Amino acid sequence: MDIIIRDMVEDDIDAIVEIENEVFSTPWSRESFITEIRENLLAKYIVAEVDKKAVGYGGIWLILTEGHITNIAVKERYRGLGIGEQLLNGLITYCMSKGINSMTLEVRKSNTIAQNLYKKYGFIDYGVRPRYYSDNNEDAIIMWRKNENQR
C-alpha cells in the first residue's frame, strides 16, 4: 500500500470532515478546516493519502518557539499500518525545519493508544488539565517533546 504524506488542500476537506465525525465526539466543522487552511498563518495541516484519498491527517500551530499539535487521526480501517506514525513524524520534521524543537499536545487520559504513539516519538507526560474535555469532563494529559538540553 502506497502512503503519501503531503500538505492538506481544500479538496481534502470532505474526506477529513468524514473522518473527524467518525472519530471525535466534538468534531471540528468543515468551516474550521477551511479557516485553518486559508487564514491561519500559524497552522500547518498534512494528510496521508492512499489510493488518491485522504485517510488520515494531522495539524499543528506554530506559536513562537512551540509547536502545538491540534489533531491527528486515521480512518479506522487504515489504523495499525504506521500511518499515524508517519503523520506525527511529518509534523515533527516540519517543526524541526522551522527551528522549533518543543512540541506539545493534549490527549484524553483514556486514550492510551494515542499516548503510546506520542511516547514512541519522545513525548513525555508533563501534567494534567482536569476536566478539559467538555463532553464528558475527562482530564487531558499534557505531553511535551523537547530537546534534551531544554528540559
Ligand X SMILES: CC(C)(COP(=O)(O)OP(=O)(O)OC[C@H]1O[C@@H](n2cnc3c(N)ncnc32)[C@H](O)[C@@H]1OP(=O)(O)O)[C@@H](O)C(=O)NCCC(=O)NCCS
Out of 4, 9, 34, 113, the only residue in the binding site for ligand X (CB under 6 A) is 113
- Stretch of 8-16, 25-33, 115-123, 128-136 lying at the interface with ligand X (CB under 6 A): 115-123
How far from each other are the two terminal CA atoms of the chain, in whole angstroms? 39
The size of the chain, in residues, is: 151
Helix boundaries (H) for the chain = 13-23, 30-38, 83-97, 112-120
- Stretch of 28-36, 68-76, 90-98, 122-130 lying at the interface with ligand X (CB under 6 A): 68-76
Tell which residue, 150, 93, 139, 103, has the closest CA to residue 123.
103
Binding mask 117-136 for ligand X (x = CB under 6 A): x--x----------------
CB of 106 to ligand X, least distance (A): 7
Active site residues: 106, 118
